[in-house]
Each structure stands twice: as structure tokens, then as C-alpha cells.
Amino acid sequence: MIIHDKILGIVTLFYLLLFVVHVFYFATRKERVLSFIWAILYITFGLHTVGLLMRWFESYKLNMGHAPLSNFYESLIVYAWSISLIIIVLKKRLLYPVITAGLCLISLGLMAYASLSPSVVHTIQPLIPALQSNWLHIHVITCFLAYAAFAVSFLCGILSLLGWKNFVPPQENLEQINYTSIIIGFPMLSAGILTGAVWAHYAWGSYWSWDPKETWSLITWIIYALILHVRLMKDWQGKRMAFLSIAGFISVIFTYFGVNFILMGLHSYAT
Amino acid sequence: MSVTKNNEDNIIFSKIQQIKESAYRFITSIQFTIVLLSLIAVSSIAGTLIKQKAPVEEYLSLYPEGIYRIIQLFGLDDIYHAPWFYALLVLFAINLILCTLRRLSRLIKTKKRIILPEEDDLKNMPVSFTVNGKENQYVVRMLKRRYRATCEETQGAVFEKGRLSQYGSLIIHAGIIITLIGSLTGLLFGYKGFMVLRKGDVKDYLTTGGRHGKIQPLGFSIRCKDFAVTFYPGGEPKDYVTTVEIIENNKRIMEKPIRVNHPLSYRGLRFYQATYGNEANFLFTIGQERVTLREREVYRKGGLSLMVIRFERQIHDFGPGVLVAYLDREEPKTIWFLRDVQRLKEQKVAGIPISFNEVHEDFFTGLEVSRDPGVWIVWTGFASILFGLFANFFIYDRKIYLRNTADGILIAGTCKKNHERFSEEFARIEKEINRDNT
């Protein structure tokens, strides 16, 4: 009955394994390890997908069938899944192991937090009436793909500031990866906000009600819009860009976690 | 004398002109956009940190009085509806409109002419190659498979793809402007209200929000035919449904359920399932009269004045009971009535026999009602934002030039972004053209 729990437990171990293999690569610098990393990554992503689908399937067995997108636990594992998906989508550009290592570490952290923290409810819960909508899927998926893409951008910002030799990719490539991830994240976030607004119109009676989560998503959106504009119009690069990417992601984190834990609002079922 | 005066006038005039021009330049500048967006972001953050629309007492318990004065002065207790916040949004809209118009005019100007560059210019382009031993017609046909020919002349031709991407940012910005216009329309011509209905109630008005709730006629009547809540086995609510009938000119127009996520739309009004609750009705016999009272409803007759101030579904094992407050010679007193205990079911209050006969618990449903004529404008804005984002980020503009030269057919290409992908595509095209077409 709780196969998904076991699968997701194994997936967590796989993220740990991925990180360890990355460390092994940095110690040995053998190119063969790299293809091994990608093989494990595909397996992990596949398993993760199966785990999510099993949870979906098992929720139907419990007579409350809904996609695993409804509570905090599910959002954490979907976030980790989205990060893996973004890694695979950007495979051609993410050829630097330090970036995949960082992303796997973030995924590991999310999975570990989801499964170990006692305050996170694991069980499949019934869907409250407000969440019973087809907009749920597209809204949550677009938002988390955006969050995942912004995690890549954040990592590029951090690496660019650290500037460790032998580890960090050349500045130019970092900026290119950073920009590419924002190009994916920004339209996704926009789609997430707009689908959310349409949904809010049907569920809450207003497409925009300045709910804390709505407001913070707008703030995040403004930050990334500014990043795109100063890059294009003012040719900002280097440190300034790195700081902006980090600021953007802090806003993402606040939109995701901060609003749930600190501010209360209409979105409070995600806690 | 008059000459110098004229000169001075001219200087002043040109000064004003200069100020006007630089002001215009600032208003239409990206700097101004950045400043405005940053201000909007910072005010929005403030709005999530300072409690919004709370009663005065709550602010005074949170902040010292001086700070509360500041909060009140700048409308920080309702930032998103403060005049200065609206002013920021209006300035942003103006800036956006002007920037968009400027970009549009620039696009129209550059669109006019597509010329075939000279041979040397073509050779200096990032990618180029020369074809030998192939028919011009054949090469053109091959290129037309993937690209659109925008200019064809005897010396050569220009092919283009992904031109739409040039309009991407324009479409996004237009979408934002449309969205803002839509929300302004809603703000000016829309309203929001509330409606509480018990089973069987008919209402032809709603109560608009705000501190002084106003009555707003609907123009038709709505009757609550039924209300039902279903629960999951664990006890969490699964669904709440209000079944309503719309009645117009004494005719039943339709019957529809209203559920969360599935509002009812009629004559530009939308009815949303917002809340529900239950309410107890108490059936008494006071003297000889049968009376139905709700909690806190006052009954007054002759010298008797009473009301139910508390209701308990179960008092120990004795079933439901109500606490009734009454006035005995201007002195307030209370007395418990228990339905299932004969001695406490019928009692005398101020000399009048009262019997507590029954409790009926009825659900009531809370419907949120709104009229927003701007919502379709907002949806149009959303659609164009999404379309513009797609055009801007997932399509890219590139051109391929073909020119007949002494060495053969020269083919060259340029693009503004996605150089890597373009070189790959260009290499594929080169391969395709050079393949033997036998």
C-alpha cells in the first residue's frame, strides 16, 4: 500500500549516491566517472517519476485520488523532481560537474527534509474543496519548474562569487548558464502566476487579492524581470549579476517557505 | 532693448524646452522603469510585513502610537489600495505605454527595407559557404523549405525565420498594459458583495463589503433550494454545494449548483461558494404562543423580555439545552432549559409558563458575489503575456542570404541570439544543399 514511500526513500539514497559520486569525481578527475554520473541521474529521475506516479495511483486506492501536488511534503518531492528535470533539459549546457553536484545536493536536502522532518506530514491527505481543480496541476508544475530553474541561476551566482579555481567554470559560461536558466524560469514563473490568477478567479472570486503568496510571487517576478532588463539594456555582468541572481532566489525561497511559515494567507494549505 | 528681451525669452523658452525634453526622456527611460518596479516591489514587501486592513486596536497592541500615526498617515494599513500605490502603478503604466510605443515605431522603421548585402559583407558574416555545381533554383527551393523568402532579386535572395521573436517583448509589454487596463475597469465598474442564504430563503439583493455594508439590488431573485456538505471518511470537508434557483419576473429561469471552484455566472454576476455554517432555531411555547427564536434574538411581549444566549447540543447525558437570559423587574437573570428533562423543559419565567420544545439546526450558506466587467480584458492581457514570452524566449530571429557570385552561390547567415543553435542549423542546411540530389 505504501510502495511510493519506499521508492521515494530509495530515490533519496540515490541523490546521496549522486553527490558522493560527484565528490569522487573531484578527487580523481576521471572522465569516465562523468558518464556514470549521468547514468545514475537518469535512473534517479526515472525512479523519482515512478515514486510520484505511485503516490498518485495509491491516492486513488484510498478513495481520494489526486495528483501529488497538494501538501507541503508533496511540494518538496515535486521540487526535487523538477530540479532533476531541469538538469536533464539543460544537459547540453550543464556539463560542469560542480553545477550538477550543487543541484543534486539541493535535491538531496529537499528529499531528506521531506522524509526526515517530523513536522512534515507524509501521509496522503484528502483534497480540500478549494484545491479540487484542474488548474492545480498546471499551476503547481509551472511554479516548481520555475523554482528549479532559479535554483540553477542561484548556484551560478554563488559559484561566480566563490570563483574557486579548478572547480568553477569560466565566468562567461557561468553567465550563459545563469541566463539560460532565467530564460526558462521567468516564463514558467509568469505562467505559474497567471494560471494561479485564473484559478483564483474561479476558486476565491478574485484573480488577484494581494494574498502574501501572490504578493511574494509578484516580488520574485519583478526581481527576475529587472535582472533580464539590466542585463539586456544596461549590460550588467559579473558580480552585480551574481548578487541579483542570489537576491532573486532568496525571494523564491521566501515565496515558497517563508510565506507558509511566517505569513498566513489563503495559500496556507501548503504548510 | 527689445532684442535682448526677445533673446531672454528665447533662452527661457529653450530652457523649458530642454527641461521638457529631459523630463520626457526620463519618463520613457529604462531607469525610470527600474526605479518604479523597485518601489512597487519594496511597497509590496512592506504590505506583507505590516498587517493589512486590521482593526485599530490590533495596530495599537503591535506598535507604539507614534508609529501607528505614521502607518495611518501613509495608508500603510492598506498599502495595495493606498493612493500613492495606485500612483506608482499609473506611472508604471505610462512608462510602459511610452516605451512600448517607442519600440513599436522603431520596429516599423526597421521593417521597411530588406536589402541583400554586398559580397564582402556576406563573407564576413559568422557563418557562410559557397555552393558549386548546383542550380540556383534548387538551392532557393531547399532554403524555402525551412525559411520564408522576404526578398528575391536576380543577384540573390533573403530568407528569414522567427521574425515573430522581434515582437515578443512588445507583445509581453502590451499584455501587461492590457492587464492593467482590465484591472482598472474592474476597479471602476465592478463590485464585490456577500450573501447569506438559509434553505428556502429568497433574496434579490446583496450586501457589498466594507465597513458600511450597502445593499445592492441584483435585478433578479435567487432562492436557496438546498445546501449540502459531504465529508471524507477522516472528517475533512469534501464538497459543499448550494443549489440555487434563479427567479426573474416570478419565473424560474434555471436551477444550478454552486460549488467551490465552480461559481455560477448570471447576468455578469458571479456567485461563489465562500463559507457555510449552521444555525440553531429554538422552538418555544411562551404562554399560549408558539415562538421560534435564534441565538441572541430578543423576544419582547408585555413585561417579558428574553433571549437565548447560549446553546449546548449535549449537557451531560440530558440532551440539548439553552441558557435563556431575561429581565426580572429590571434585573438580569438567567435560566437553563433542557429539552429532554421534563422538570427543566417547562418552567415559569416572570410568572409566564415557557416550554422549550425543540431545536432545529439549519445550515446557511455564504455566497460571495462579484461583478467584474474587466475580467475578460485581464484574460486577454494574460494570453498575450504568455504568447509574448513564448515568442521572445523560445523563438529566435535569423536570416540567410543567397548571392550569385563569380565563385558560385554564396550563402551566409546571421542572427542576434542563439548563435550556437543557429550554427548547428546552418551546418545542417549546408549538408542538405550539398547532398547529391540524385
Model ipTM value = 0.91
* pLDDT number for residue A268: 56
Please give the residue of chain A at the shortest CA–CA distance from B232. A126
B371 and B245 both lie in a single domain = yes
The residues in A 177-216 lying below 8 A from B, measured between CB atoms, are: 183, 186-187, 190-191, 194, 197-198, 201-208, 210, 212, 215-216
B226 and B369 both lie in a single domain = yes
DSSP type of residue A255: I
B148 and B79 both lie in a single domain = no
List the CATH code of the domain at A128-271: 1.20.120
Q: Which residues of A touch B378 (CB under 8 A)?
A: 197, 207
Write the burial class of residue A213 (CB in 10 Å: 0-12 exposed, 13-18 middle, 19+ buried). buried
Q: Does residue B176 lie in a domain region?
A: no
Rounded CA gap, B422 and B395, in Å? 11
**Average pLDDT over chain A, rounded to an integer:** 90
* pLDDT number for residue A271: 42
Q: Does residue B391 lie in a domain region?
A: no
B342 and B200 both lie in a single domain = no
B274 and B285 both lie in a single domain = no
Q: Closest to B37 (Cβ–Cβ): which among A208, A222, A259?
A: A222
Contact B237 A191 (CB under 8 A): no
Residues of chain B falling short of pLDDT 70: 1-5, 111-112, 209-212, 436-438
Please give the residue of chain A at the shortest CA–CA distance from B235. A126
Q: Does residue B105 lie in a domain region?
A: no
Contact B370 A130 (CB under 8 A): no
pLDDT digits (tens, 9 = 90+) for A46-81: 999 999 999 999 888 887 788 898 888 999 999 999
B258 and B232 both lie in a single domain = yes
Residues of chain A falling short of pLDDT 70: 1, 263-271
Q: Does residue B171 lie in a domain region?
A: no
B270 and B288 both lie in a single domain = no
Q: Which residues of B touch A146 (CB under 8 A)?
A: none
Q: Which residues of B touch A64 (CB under 8 A)?
A: 232
Is the backbone of residue A179 left (phi > 0), alpha (psi -120 to 50) or beta?
Answer: alpha
Contact yes or no for A83/A45 (Cβ under 8 A): no
Parse chain A into domains and list their residue ranges.
1-125, 128-271
Three-state SS sequence of chain B: CHHHHHHHHHHHHHHHHHHHHHHHHHHCCHHHHHHHHHHHHHHHHHHHHCCCCCCHHHHHHHCCHHHHHHHHHCCHHHHHHCHHHHHHHHHHHHHHHHHHHHHHHHHHHHHCCCCCCCHHHHHCCCEEEEECCCCHHHHHHHHHHHCEEEEECCCEEEEEECCCHHHHHHHHHHHHHHHHHHHHHHHHHCEEEEEEEECCCEEEEEEECCCCCEEEEEEEEEEEEEEEEEECCCCCEEEEEEEEEEEECCEEEEEEEEECCECEEECCEEEEEEEEEEEEEEEEEECCEEEEEECCCEEEECCEEEEEEEEECCCCCCCCEEEEEEEECCEEEEEEEECCCHHHHEEEECCEEEEEEEEEEEEEEEEEEEECCCHHHHHHHHHHHHHHHHHHHHCCCEEEEEEEECCEEEEEEEECCCHHHHHHHHHHHHHHHHCCCC
Q: Does residue B251 lie in a domain region?
A: yes
Report the domain count for chain B: 4
* pLDDT number for residue B67: 87
B374 and B256 both lie in a single domain = yes
* pLDDT number for residue B228: 85
Q: Which domain holds residue B69?
A: 2-95
Contact B386 A190 (CB under 8 A): yes
Q: Closest to B375 (Cβ–Cβ): which among A132, A133, A201?
A: A201
Please give the residue of chain A at the shortest CA–CA distance from B261. A203
Rg (CA), chain A: 19
Question: How many CA atoms lie less than 13 Å away from B80 in the CB half-sphere?
Answer: 19
Q: Does residue B341 lie in a domain region?
A: yes
B267 and B327 both lie in a single domain = no
* pLDDT number for residue A270: 45
B6 and B87 both lie in a single domain = yes
Contact A205 B239 (CB under 8 A): no
Please give the residue of chain B at the shortest CA–CA distance from A226. B34
pLDDT digits (tens, 9 = 90+) for A177-221: 999 999 999 999 999 999 999 999 999 889 998 988 999 999 999
Q: Does residue B62 lie in a domain region?
A: yes
The residues in A 3-32 lying below 8 A from B, measured between CB atoms, are: none
Q: Is A234 helix (H, G, I), strand (E, B) or coil?
A: coil
pLDDT digits (tens, 9 = 90+) for B368-408: 899 999 999 999 999 999 999 999 999 998 999 988 888 88
B237 and B378 both lie in a single domain = yes
Around Cβ B327, how many Cβ atoms within 10 Å?
A: 15
* pLDDT number for residue B39: 95
Q: Which amino acid is at B328?
A: D
* pLDDT number for residue B212: 65
B135 and B13 both lie in a single domain = no
* CATH value at residue B122: 3.30.310
**pTM of this structure:** 0.86
Q: Closest to A233 (Cβ–Cβ): which among B30, B38, B274?
A: B30
* pLDDT number for residue B40: 95
Contact A207 B192 (CB under 8 A): no
Shortest Cα distance from A19 to chain B (angstroms)? 30
